Amino acid sequence: MSHFVSSGARLDRLPMSRFHWKILGLISAGACLDAFDVYLAGGVSAAMLKAGFSTLQLNALFVSSGFFGMVIGAGLSGYLGDKFGRRSSYQFNLALFGLMSFVAAFAPNIQWLIGARFIMGIGLGAELVVAAGTLCEFIPPAYRGRWISLLGLIVNSGLVLATSVGYVVIPHLGWRWMFGIAGIGAVIVWALRHRMPESPRWLESVGRTQEAEETVSAIEAEVAALKGPLSDVPRTQNLEVPPAPLSALFRRGMIGRTLTAALTAIAVNVAVYGFVAWLPTFFVHEGRDVVTSLGFTTLMSFGAPFGAVLGYITADRLGRSKGLVTFCVIAIILGFVYPQMVANAAIAIVGFTLVSCIFGIVTLGLFGYVPELFPTALRLRGTGVAGVCGRIASMLTSYAAVLLYAQFGLFGVLGMVAGVLLLLVIAVLALGVDANQYSLEAVSPDEEAVGADLPLNQGVTR
């Protein structure tokens, strides 16, 4: 009998059960909490300005400090997740975020709040990197696309949640309570996650085979208790590999994946922070009153969860790469049609469709396609490198959007978005990798493609 744990093959043949819903809930709860905190910044900034706690210039520094922290967090979480484990990484990130949320709630001045926001940003930037990479390691190939879309649906709903809570809390209790709510939520999720299992794939990859065997056996027992006897394991696999340096991401056979993942994250952030985030300003600048502008913006914001629904419908049918290309092409076309709309109904319908396609790209790209490109030994670092590139793009895109809008109007901004999406389409088609319906190990680069230090597919028998 083989001594290999074969954790990937054993997890991949499990029927969907309450265990998988529990994993989704624990992972997505933290990710949604972080999305909630990202989106609360707008309402908090306005309330601080009105109360005289801050100024416009200090508000800008408050927002920027959070984004800068996210850049560091995205890279740090990749290292921690591959070095010390998925569970250790996301528990550390969430604890850091939660602690700093309470510090922010009691900040004596704006300088303290800016410092706390920077450290909170480190936790914020880390959460999505770890969440997407961890979830895909537990979900069987036949369902993985739909389940990453469910993660996207929950995360994208953070915008609606933050807006709704802020509408009630800020006028009646004050802006500090928004940070307090985030901190309390972080404590609750951290406690619930404490018993969440470590990824057996990661445990086996780093040589902790006994723990991997115990973990995957416990998962199998839990699923079998609800679903009955499990099917035979279809293959044996040795997932243990030597430690892989960060430079492995840039070796022959991996560099194409790394660059495509980075471009995916950049395209997503350019689209969201270059267009979606600027919608209210664009509407007002085009001569519409504030009420009408907010009405259009609110309607289009529902494109965020609807984009995840589109991802759910297409992820396991078209696959991640074909779905990405399809949504990108539609978004590019609508990007040039949208500025020509005059009637309110046309503006709302075309704009909603455009936003939905953009968040379809977010769902399939960030939550599915990017983490699936990397082998277990490099998954979080690869996703983290992409996240760093995306966060830097989000910081620069706002300035680029202002300059392009001043020179060329809405056509200029949407031209920038369309150009980046076109580059993404070319990169995805050229790479030709799609994990749809395949195990994560089946789409990993082979030993020769990556280098002698990273024998990724050794021990696979069919």
Per-domain residue ranges of the chain: 7-227, 247-450
What's the CATH number for 247-450?
Answer: 1.20.1250.20
Calculate the alpha carbon distances from 271 to 105, 154, 329, 348 in Å. 32, 20, 13, 18
Task: Give, in words, the CATH class of 7-227.
Answer: mainly alpha
Query: What's the sign of the alpha-carbon dihedral 95, 160, 16, 237?
Result: negative
d(CA 25, CA 13): 21
- pTM across the whole model: 0.87
Residues whose CB falls within 8 Å of the CB of residue 355, separated by 6 or more in sequence, listed in order: 276, 300, 301, 303, 304, 307
Phi-psi map region of 86: left, alpha, beta (phi>0 left; psi -120 to 50 alpha): alpha
Phi, psi of 315 (to 5 degrees): -60, -45
The pair phi, psi for residue 139, each rounded to 5°, is -90, 130
Gap between the Cα atoms of 5 and 96, Å rounded: 34
Asked whether the domain spanning 247-450 has the same topology as the one spanning 7-227, the reply is yes
pLDDT of residue 283: 64
Mean pLDDT per 10-residue run, the chain (462 residues)?
Answer: 79 95 91 81 82 86 88 89 89 91 95 94 85 92 94 83 81 91 92 90 93 95 93 84 89 93 94 74 61 65 88 93 95 86 81 90 93 93 93 85 84 89 96 89 65 40 30
CA distance 26 to 207: 26
**Residue 338: per-residue pLDDT:** 81
Contact 355, 303 (CB under 8 A): yes
Amino acid at 79: Y
Query: Maximum CA pair distance of the chain?
Result: 74
DSSP codes of every residue in 304-357: HHHHHHHHHHHTTTT-HHHHHHHHHHHHHHHHHHGGG--SHHHHHHHHHHHHHH
